[in-house]
Amino acid sequence: MLSKMNNHPSTLRDAILNLRQGRFVLIHDFSSRENETDMVLAAQHITPDHIRIMRKDAGGLICVAIRYDIANKLGLPYMLEVLESVSKEYPNLYELINSQASYGKSAFSISVNHRDTFTGITDIDRALTIKEIAKLCDLAVKNFDDVQCRFASNFRAPGHVQLLIASDGLISKRAGHTELSVYLAQLAGLTPVTVICEMLDDETHKSLPSLSAKNYAKMHNIPFVEGHEIVSYYKDQMRG
């Protein structure tokens, strides 16, 4: 895969290598979209220390992004679908679900804890939940038949790990951090499940500016990838 990237930015190759090695990558989406930088890690490599770094250095919501077909095998719904299903009993939800964000449909699914966790929120607990999700998703990729039963018997909801479902077709349908990160993990030959967390700014209390995120990346020797670099590579691959 890396040999095919000679005409693409070296940061894309570096990002793939980092993901394979269990290290972070920073992905900035687009100035015309969220204009945010997310800290990204392959879910299968998660440790409690990674959780600590994300909550302290990034500060946003720690989520697990799952490729669409895998989420489907687990029987995961979009949260929007869950709210729609109960909106007849709770009519006020109609207003909530019809107020979508400016950048399109939310990737949010349900939130979970692994059943072996205590409160679910500690670094150890969240790392355990994410690690077990990644293992289950790997089984789903390998077409094990009982992944839905395993999911139901090993996790509980609601919990402290927010699940996200990437759009069917990934970047061809939506180019959010969910899809960009999952596609990058896929390019790396890893289970296409990632942990993502928005980087926030302590001074402005808004999203961390792109320049500050780049400085953080340089300081910590982390590849900083622009969304358009990933999309460009994806389109080149589609053209054959």
Could you list the active site residues?
Answer: 38, 63, 103, 113, 160, 198
Q: Rounded to whole angstroms, what are the CA distances from 125 to 55, 120, 129, 159, 192?
A: 14, 5, 6, 11, 22
CB 184 within 8 A of CB 42: no
Element (H, E) at 111: strand 108-114
Phi, then psi, of 228 in degrees rounded to 5: -65, -25
Q: Which residues fall within 8 angstroms of residue 43, CB to CB, at 6 or more apart?
A: 64, 130, 131, 133, 134, 137, 191, 193, 194, 195
